[in-house]
Chain A
Amino acid sequence: MTVKNHVLKNVYRDSVALMRLSREMEGLENVAQATAIMGTDNNKELLAQAGLLADSGKSATPNDLIVAFDLTPPGREEAVMTSVQHRLMSGRQGTSGGTSYRPRSMEGALQTLPQANLAMISVPGEHAAREATKALDLGLNVLLFSDNVPLEDEVDLKQQAISRGLLMMGPDCGTAIINGVPLGFANAVPSGRVGLVSASGSGLQQVICLLAESGEGISHALGVGGRDLSDEVNGAMMLEGLRALREDSATEIIVLISKPPAQSARDRVLEAASRCGKPCVISFLGEQEERASRGNIQMEDNLESTALRILKLLGKEPPGWAFLDDKSRKQIESIIASTDPGHRSIRGLYSGGTLCYESLFILRNLGHQAGSGLEREQVGGDLLIDMGDDRYTVGRPHPMIDFRSRCDALVQAAADPEVGVVLLDVILGYGAHPDPAAELAPAILEAQKIARNGGRRLACVVALCGSPDDPQDMDQQQKTLTHAGALVVHSNALAARIASAISRGAAGPLPGGDTRG
């Protein structure tokens, strides 16, 4: 092992660009392992843990780029660095509005684009509040994609925005679609009559994708960040979004989505929704006792039932995605017949936090003692992990972009003799990985091989969350994953119920159009 570090002073690239660079380096001759990473203390520690930190890299500052690689056999160091420099230069062309000019500040950007009305911010969390404050000061609405932002900063930013009459979407806002313009992780869905405000990015994506597959579009989809309905933030931006959609003439039905909110935020949102003058579907995920109709409000408890309720309000027939076809049902029965009852624990590896959460409460409602990676580190039995959680994304891209962690975790799960079912989500759309199936399919094949070598069968159930018009070609994604042996459905709730059926060895209760699980 010959570890080399090159420190490129004052060279900054974002985490996605660095992920791509790292991959390209690993494809070069003699390079056994490679990483390009900014020189923060945290990142240097990660490099050291990976055995890729040389003495020369220790002096890097957070503003420097460390190019680290292991040459086996030694040699070709110069060729690697020539390739890296070429990539760094070529990667800076072809963006920034069609020119190579990149203003160094938001003020400069406003001079270039005077009509700008939105700042989309995805810098590392420790810098995010500062950039968002600048944007609000300039009169810009903000979509703050960054996570790892302190809660007190979120409260302050949203108060600043409200005082200026601006929208402050996020932090940790992964998606929005405004007048058909996709922002962040967003799907190619048609324009339509449904307006949404969501404290859950992947939850929002699941609902609009199920609607799109049923031929229904949206007016606007506004993300507000997962903590908006906490005690501290108190629904500040969901209320602003609701107000905006109430006044929007294109919006006929309003949909509000969140994990279970704090009581006072819940009361505020319900009160405002009851007065909005439009039909409202409110999805507080997991609040089954609240599933009811009251005035203009219909409460739902999962994403699938939310989409079904919207379609019903729009006079649509129950869609195909709510049902299992005969082939899938037979596949499930075959898996159950060939799986040892002692090896049927579920391992969920999610990129969408809300999809993970939805699966967790569906499984628990079905009697599983399912744990989440956030509650406990070491558990036997069913375990669902949100790999997009802050703790897994420091210094690296979101798992919708970067599949390395999930593929590794999938292979590890296959080696666990207790695990019989792996649950995965694959989220398509703009900003997401251009070909997720190409990343996951080899890992699924390898995982199944590992299980077979251990005398077991491993079922892989995939919730494919996408729109027929997404750039990844949803049909092709489904074919590739199915060919690798995965069972693919489009409703995350249905995927969870299938996993439960396999785990419990009984396909009987699967749908039908029953969405209660």
Chain B
Amino acid sequence: MAEKRDLLGGPPATINVGLEVFADTLQELGFPVVQVDWRPSAGGDHRLTDLLSRLEQSGDSNAEGTN
């Protein structure tokens, strides 16, 4: 299991996945943020996405490369 990262101890450092406007705000205010270049997994194919999720949950596959 990955190391747990406390949230309330100081200003958060943020990984933003999705609406860029939220990362823009943090960047403009000088808080640490990284924007992920996200796009739908499996090319947006719902059937494949479900399959990937099930594989990930079963621990049989590391599908991070699909993103």
Contacts and interface: CB of A to CB of B under 8 A. Distances in A.
A61 B43 contact: yes
A139 B31 contact: no
Q: Which of B3, B36, B43 has the most CB of A within 10 A?
A: B36
Given A96-B34, A105-B36, A181 B21 contact: no
Contacts of B15: 106, 109-110, 113, 116, 118-120, 135, 140
Given A62-B40, A139-B4, A131 B17 contact: yes
A14 interface: yes
Interface string B29-46: 101111111111101111
B44 A61 contact: yes
Interface residues of A, number: 70
Contacts of A62: 40, 43-45
B12 A181 contact: yes
A140 B6 CA distance: 8
A248 interface: yes
A179 B9 CA distance: 8
B27 interface: yes
Contacts of B29: 181-182
A510 to B, nearest CB: 37
A135 B21 CA distance: 20
Contacts of A182: 25-26, 29
Interface string A1-30: 000000000101011110000000000000
Interface stretch (A121-129, A312-320, A410-418): A121-129
B53 interface: yes
A483 interface: no
Contact of A104 (B8, B20, B32, B37): B37
Contacts, number: 189
Contact of B4 (A17, A63, A98, A164): A164
B49 A126 contact: yes
A104 B21 contact: no
Nearest to B65: A105
A10 B67 CA distance: 12
Nearest to B24: A95
Given A109-B15, A130-B49, A184 B22 contact: yes
B31 A181 contact: yes
Contact of B27 (A95, A146, A164): A95
A134 B34 contact: no
A40 to B, nearest CB: 7
A71 interface: no
A165 B1 CA distance: 12
A16 B21 contact: yes
Given A105-B67, A181-B11, A14 B18 contact: yes
Contact of B36 (A10, A109, A248): A109
Contact of A106 (B10, B36, B53): B36
A179 to B, nearest CB: 5
Contacts of B19: 14-16, 122, 145, 431
A127 B11 contact: no
Interface of B: 1-8, 10-27, 29, 31-41, 43-46, 49, 52-53, 56-57, 64, 67
Q: What 3 A-B pairs come out closest when comparing CB atoms?
A: A62-B44, A122-B18, A139-B2
Given A14-B19, A95-B23, 16 more contacts: A12-B40, A61-B43, A95-B24, A96-B33, A97-B35, A110-B15, A116-B13, A119-B15, A123-B40, A124-B40, A127-B40, A131-B17, A141-B12, A178-B8, A183-B12, A431-B19
